[in-house]
Amino acid sequence: MSWTGPAYVAALVLLLRANSTLAALTPKLIIVGYEPGVDDATTDLLAIGMRVADTQVYAVSGPPMASDEEVTIECRIQVSRPGAGSVPADAAAVQAQLILDEIHQQVRDASPAIGVQTVNDKVAERDYRPFPASASDGTPMRVCQVDFKIQYKARIA
């Protein structure tokens, strides 16, 4: 049996980097397939695949001895805007929601083809957390962080 998690993460990162809406964002959104450990609160970041876990079960249909792999991928969106108060906080939240909407649409309409067949995939378990921070030069920032999971099932041989 094979493990499809890393291939799914790599394929989704490429699809999201090619997404015209995400590519046009200002400031530029950094999209990575790992937990980057960015310390500077000024970075707008999308981290796909900070942790990948799977379970394999025998498929109920398909070729003999086929199995389904159910995978959960932990992800994070981090959007920062300079300033204090509600205006930069609202701007960060709006940008984070736009990014999450694009991910929803990508996974729903054109998800990565992994294994023999991607049976289903979805964005799940969203956790929204706004907080104040400071840039490395001491500039006050408002950060919106959204942790979420992508869950998918792939048919593997």
pLDDT for the residue 39: 59
* Token output for 13: 């990162």
Cα–Cα dist 24/31, whole Å = 13
The pLDDT of residue 126 is above 70: yes
pLDDT for the residue 5: 84
Over residues 53-104, the pLDDT tens digits come to 888 777 566 566 678 888 899 999 999 999 999 999 999 999 999 999 999 9
Cα–Cα dist 125/128, whole Å = 10
Q: Is 0.75 surpassed by the pTM of this model?
A: yes
Q: What is the CATH number of domain 5-156?
A: 3.30.2000
Structural element, H or E, at residue 107 = helix 86-109
Percent of the chain as helix, strand, coil, to the nearest 5: 25, 45, 30
